[in-house]
Amino acid sequence: MFSDGERIIMRDSGIDMVFIMLIVARAITFMLVIPIHESAHGVVAGWLGDDTARKEGRITLNPFAHIDPIGLITMMILGIGWAKPVPVDPSKFKHRRLGYALVALAGPVSNLLAALTGCFIMVLSGCLITHSDQWFTVESAASPAGKAAFELLSNFITINVTLAVFNMIPLPPMDGFNFLRAFTPAKFDNWVFRNQRILSGIFFALIILGSRLLYVRVAFYFIIAAVAQLLYLMVSWIPLFFK
């Protein structure tokens, strides 16, 4: 991609092109992934009787309808980000608290399904390209364009899993906490609703602090790797057809 002279200039000037390419890949993938997550919230809310998200144009694959600038920046730098919350009116649900829990769960589930689809495409195309069950050796057989496509697909899988795990953290305002709220006393639920802004600020402060602690990062990425491995195991039957 770059000549030897260009690499020397970039190295001497302190430009880390690998890091820059990682940021660009994360940004592109994030803009592909976020609409899936946020639209899933709106779709399930619509199924349950609340059409607020549809009326406000939030059920769309257009990433610019969902992107939060700060969330995008943190995704590019830290690999973890967020989007603008989808508006939901639980008063329109027949069972308000259960409906809100299902809407909250829809986002992470959609990310896991998208990641599983990505795993299926990666393993199947890898087997087709290598003409063997050794799909993970595809980089040595693929063209430069193919390698770039596989790198993007790999990022797609990783970011989907990361968002699913991150959003299932059982702390406000994350989806995991909103799901658990359906099983807490109504008084606690009302207290959380009244203090959401403060609790959100505390949560993001904890995220910034936690990102500085090695054992927290290790634990988080271990969970991501375990979930990703489980998804790959779910499509491990594909290479059996290429032996």
Question: Is residue 139 a contact partner of residue 147, using CB atoms and an 8 Å limit?
Answer: yes
Question: Is residue 161 a contact partner of residue 112, using CB atoms and an 8 Å limit?
Answer: yes
Q: Is 6 marked active-site?
A: no
- Distance between CA atoms of 140 and 184, rounded to whole angstroms? 53
Cβ neighbour number for residue 110 with a 10 Å cutoff: 23
Question: Is residue 154 a contact partner of residue 115, using CB atoms and an 8 Å limit?
Answer: no
Of the residues 38, 56, 139, 151, only one is catalytic, namely 38
Question: Is residue 48 a contact partner of residue 99, using CB atoms and an 8 Å limit?
Answer: yes
C-alpha R_g of the chain = 20
Cβ neighbour number for residue 119 with a 10 Å cutoff: 25
For residue 155, which amino acid is it?
Answer: N
Residue ranges in the chain assigned as alpha helix (H): 4-12, 17-47, 52-55, 69-78, 96-130, 138-141, 144-167, 175-180, 186-194, 196-210, 214-234
- Distance between CA atoms of 52 and 62, rounded to whole angstroms? 17
Catalytic residues: 38
